[in-house]
A and B are shown apart, each in its own frame.
Chain A
Amino acid sequence: MAINKDSNGYTFGFAIAMVIVVGTALSLLAIGLKPYRDANGIQKKQLEILSAFLDLDAEKISRKNVAEKFDEYVNLDEAVVLDRNGKIKEGVNAFDIDVQVEYKDKKLKDEDKNYPLFVAKKDGKKLYVMPIVGKGLWGPIWGNICLGEDMNTIEGASFGHKGETPGLGAEIAQKFFIDRWIGEKLSDDSGVFTKFEIVKDGSGAATEKKVDGITGGTITSKGVEEMANRCLAVYATYFNNLKN
């Protein structure tokens, strides 16, 4: 019996069968690959936290060995989560918080956003790693700032971006820009947080609280300035309360 391929019944039947087959196959694939995607997400977060105080290339840390290195340096039991006023929030797991998702979430009120703080140990010294997030010219930018034992001086940092202009704004991820942040202090001697400023005149290296921007990457640099000031202020409050 020849099938009439033009009949409505055949057309509908074909469409339904195709959707079921393709849909099932894709869902099975998605479920099957989920553990890999989850593991990738955890590795990425671990790499970013470590990148605040380690040179990942020099230390040969990659996705393969990051889990083990992360345990070596970072003690998640000491990690805390702060609210916007710099007070510790109980019952929240710092590692589970995705600051980038929270930043994008328009429904989440500013006062409900979480500020995780990780504590690491390198060469016997305590380090404090703070994730920050903001927006650049084309999309999200983020970073991890590392404070030394005095809970005030920046000892390391890393910046990332989703799609800033290569050669211009994208340079925030480069070492030369990161180095400009090292040695800067969060709070002045009296324990008051003052804002960072990205400058164009090249005075950043010599002046405290001033950091040289990137030529041609003004809007991205300003984005870094905004995210550093907004996020670091919260941590500065916490550290200053802790010291008093």
Chain B
Amino acid sequence: MSEVAEKTKAPSESLFSKKNRKLITDPLTDNNPVTVQVLGICSALAITVQVSQALVMGLSVIFVTMMGNFVISSMRNYIPPKIRIIVQLVIAAALVIIVDQILAAFLPDLSAKLSVFVGLIITNCIIMGRLEAFAMANKPWPSLLDGLGNGAGYAGLLLIVATIRELFGSGSFFGIPILGSPIPTAGHPNGSGLYAMGYMNNNMMVLPPMALVLVGIIIWIQRSRNKSLQESH
């Protein structure tokens, strides 16, 4: 019954119509999966000590949400309703294994640092949430965009948190020291750069709880600026 309707409707909607663009931009701001829906917090705590880790993790999640949404959406009319959650799980798990294998083969050092957290992408509520809530009910192209948007919303927040944590916790960005070096050398007992003036790295920043505090602060800033997100009591 919907066959005809879909066929006539399809060409009328451009690939980047306003509705489709909103699928990408919404999760970046007003419907951010981490700050607004508070999903995927656990991994955001674990791998945001360094920007490079957060970037790879973010890209991995974008890949899994995008491809997962696309594959499930393409299959949605053939998936037996009784086992639909299992089918989603298998597809998401397969994609996660692909990411894990590729990282282990081509980025072995980063893969070792991310250790179990790549495998744990499967437990990230964002992925299963989008598969069940969006991909099962929408066509492949919007689903792909929705996956991209939600993955990017997660990755973006990860990068913000990681930038703050790496800068104040280790004095570097992408592993490049930008505040000088805390290692004492001859003539510079306190190190060089800012450290020579007595600056010290904030060790609290490299510990996981600080990520939670930072995410909390970001949520606070976002809600104070966007009244529609505030809950009334």
Question: Which residues of A sit under 8 angstroms from B207, Cβ to Cβ?
Answer: 165-167
Question: Which residues of A sit under 8 angstroms from B203, Cβ to Cβ?
Answer: 167-168, 216
Q: Are A10 and B101 in contact (CB under 8 A)?
A: no
Interface size counted on chain B using CB atoms at 8 A: 29
Question: Which residues of A sit under 8 angstroms from B169, Cβ to Cβ?
Answer: 166-167
Interface residues of A (CB under 8 A from B): 5-6, 10-11, 14-15, 18-19, 22, 25-26, 29-30, 33, 36-37, 40, 43-44, 63, 162-163, 165-168, 174-176, 216
Chain A residue nearest to B206 in the complex (CB): A166
Question: Which residues of B sit under 8 angstroms from A176, Cβ to Cβ?
Answer: 183-184
Question: Which residues of A sit under 8 angstroms from B183, Cβ to Cβ?
Answer: 174-176
Q: Write the nearest CB–CB distance from B131 to chain A, whole angstroms.
A: 14
A-B pairs with beta carbons under 8 Å apart, 20 shown:
A5-B80, A6-B82, A10-B80, A11-B80, A11-B82, A14-B78, A15-B83, A22-B91, A22-B94, A25-B94, A30-B101, A33-B102, A33-B104, A37-B104, A43-B108, A162-B115, A163-B115, A165-B207, A174-B183, A176-B184
Q: Write the nearest CB–CB distance from B54 to chain A, whole angstroms.
A: 14
Question: Which residues of A sit under 8 angstroms from B201, Cβ to Cβ?
Answer: 167
Question: Which residues of A sit under 8 angstroms from B79, Cβ to Cβ?
Answer: 5, 14
Give the CA-CA distance A162 to B82 in the complex, in Å: 42
Interface string of B75-104 (1 = CB under 8 A from A): 000111111001100110010011001101
B221 at the interface (CB under 8 A from A): no
Known: A14-B78, A163-B115. A29 touches B98 (CB 8 A): yes
Q: Are B98 and A22 in contact (CB under 8 A)?
A: no
Give the CA-CA distance A33 to B103 in the complex, in Å: 10
B4 at the interface (CB under 8 A from A): no
- Is the contact region of chain A dominated by helix, strand, or loop, or is it mixed? helix
B49 at the interface (CB under 8 A from A): yes
B105 at the interface (CB under 8 A from A): yes
Q: Are A6 and B101 in contact (CB under 8 A)?
A: no
Question: Which residues of A sit under 8 angstroms from B80, Cβ to Cβ?
Answer: 5-6, 10-11, 14-15
Chain A residue nearest to B201 in the complex (CB): A167
Beyond A6-B82, A37-B108, 4 additional pairs, beta carbon < 8 A: A22-B90, A30-B101, A33-B105, A43-B108
Q: Write the nearest CB–CB distance from B2 to chain A, whole angstroms.
A: 14
Q: Are B108 and A44 in contact (CB under 8 A)?
A: yes
Please pick, from B87, B105, B206, the residue contacting A37 in the complex, using a CB distance under 8 A.
B105
Give the CA-CA distance A63 to B108 in the complex, in Å: 10
Chain B residue nearest to A14 in the complex (CB): B80
Question: Which residues of A sit under 8 angstroms from B115, Cβ to Cβ?
Answer: 162-163
Please pick, from B82, B83, B105, B206, the residue contacting A36 in the complex, using a CB distance under 8 A.
B105
Q: Write the nearest CB–CB distance from A137 to chain B, whole angstroms.
A: 13
Chain A residue nearest to B94 in the complex (CB): A22
Question: Which residues of B sit under 8 angstroms from A18, Cβ to Cβ?
Answer: 87, 90
Q: Write the nearest CB–CB distance from B74 to chain A, whole angstroms.
A: 13
Question: Which residues of B sit under 8 angstroms from A15, Cβ to Cβ?
Answer: 80, 83, 86-87
Q: Are B90 and A19 in contact (CB under 8 A)?
A: yes
Give the CA-CA distance A44 to B108 in the complex, in Å: 9
Please pick, from A22, A33, A43, the residue contacting B101 in the complex, using a CB distance under 8 A.
A33
